[in-house]
Amino acid sequence: MFTPPFVQPHVQPHPAPYYNSAPQNNLNPGQNNPEPPEMSLPRYINYLADLSGCGHWRILWPEQVINATSVGISHSITSMVTDHRFYQNVKVVKLQRQASNTQVQFVKFLKNIQQEYGFKLMYEVDDVVFREDIPDYNKFKFAFDNDEIRNNCIEIINSVDEVTVTCDFMRRLYKERTGQQNITVIPNFVPNFWLGYLFDGQKVAKQLEVNRKKPRILYTGSGAHYDVENKVDGKDDFAGVRDYVRKTVDKYQWVFVGAFPPQLADLVKGGKIEFYPWQNLLNYPRLISKLDVQLMVAPLQVNNFNKAKSDIKFIEACTLGIPCLCQDMETYSTAPPSLKFSSVEEFSDKIDTILRWKNRSKYYKNIKALREIGVSRILEQDSNIGAILESLNTPYNSRERTFLQEWN
């Protein structure tokens, strides 16, 4: 999900109350009093870029698992703290997609105190921020369309000890664009609560019967996928299949969540296409599970920006027990060949083939295989949260990194 680039922070001279500057009264003078158990846990500070999709997938949900399992104490904030004492006993300071002039100065401050306090400095990014790689139809391109942002990003990335990204293409691209070599792939993981929305047997059977005559097909995505300002004559992520959707509105019930192509607005207004506004990330899986769709689709233009996307849309669908037909590109390397297309003709053929699963035994067989893919990417799996912890607790290229080897 591509989100507006920065929550512009304001500098706070006083930190949150993670320390106490006043002398502490020793209740047992002359004795070694044990510290509270939480004081011995590693402490991580995250400077968030946003509070929407990227912030949750990359920072907030992993943070909740770290805190809930008592393997560390993680704090996420948006205001830059410049009181040195805030960084006492901090193991990692992670910056998410920071690139403003103020943030460059803040990174210099962190570098100046890093040796004194001994924390690791990391940078997290899950989108391409270089303007030459962002397509013109993306309505957020304006935020990156200048040399200042580009140069700031490169400067910050080369100031940190390690960068984390979501896929191997992004790692290769950032190495090429910035020269930074310490870049680690950590894919997006789905929080465990999504499993509560898996389709049960009775619901599947009902769907197969109710929707037999007009199967329901879902697309979810923000307005960044569409040429809403008509800058490229409609040649956006949905361009390759847009006419097909229009031609098949009587054959299939098309459902859009988040935004819809402006060229199909007449069908939305006329009730031919169902549309639901964007949901917060807690309500999103609940909505999708209630839509009773038989198929999701994920078309994309093949460009560097999209190659650098994670496969999270496919993983979401797998976790929710829905087949997802994806653009045949590196982004969706996780998807099996039967769920990939590269032309509108193949898109049409694959939809027909997938919807022929609508006998119960074959549907269950295929959905079970997809669910296993989704479950393998549940955040709370030891290997998945373990990979995140390895990136925090060990140096880049450490031999102790066993879980990360799967992705790097």
Joined tokens for residue 244: 């097909």
- Using an 8 Å Cβ cutoff, are 120 and 162 in contact? yes
Residue keyed to tokens 């304006």: 142
Q: How is domain 192-376 classified at the CATH fold level?
A: Rossmann fold (3.40.50)
Buried b (16+ CB within 10 A) or exposed e, 31-64: eeeeeeeeeebbbbbbbbbbebbbbbbbbbbbbb
- Using an 8 Å Cβ cutoff, are 187 and 334 in contact? no
- Intrachain domains 37-189+380-406 and 192-376 with the same fold: yes
Is-above-0.85 flag for pTM? yes
Rg of the chain in Å (alpha carbons): 23
- Using an 8 Å Cβ cutoff, are 316 and 194 in contact? yes
For the chain, what are the domain ranges? Answer: 37-189+380-406, 192-376
- Using an 8 Å Cβ cutoff, are 398 and 230 in contact? no
- One digit per residue, the tens of pLDDT, for the chain of length 408 reads 333 333 333 333 333 333 333 333 344 544 555 555 556 899 999 999 988 888 999 999 999 999 999 899 999 999 999 999 999 999 999 999 999 999 999 999 999 999 999 999 999 999 898 999 999 999 888 888 889 999 999 999 999 999 999 999 999 999 999 999 999 999 999 999 988 877 665 566 566 666 667 999 999 998 888 888 888 888 888 999 999 999 999 999 999 999 999 999 999 999 999 999 988 888 899 999 889 898 999 999 999 999 999 999 999 999 998 999 999 999 999 999 999 999 999 999 999 988 876 566 777 778 888 989 999 999 999 999 999 999 999 999 999 999 999 999
CA atoms within 13 A on the CB side of 137: 23
What CATH code would you report for 37-189+380-406? 3.40.50.2000
Q: How far is CA 178 from CA 41, 98, 130, 266, 304, in A?
A: 34, 15, 10, 44, 15
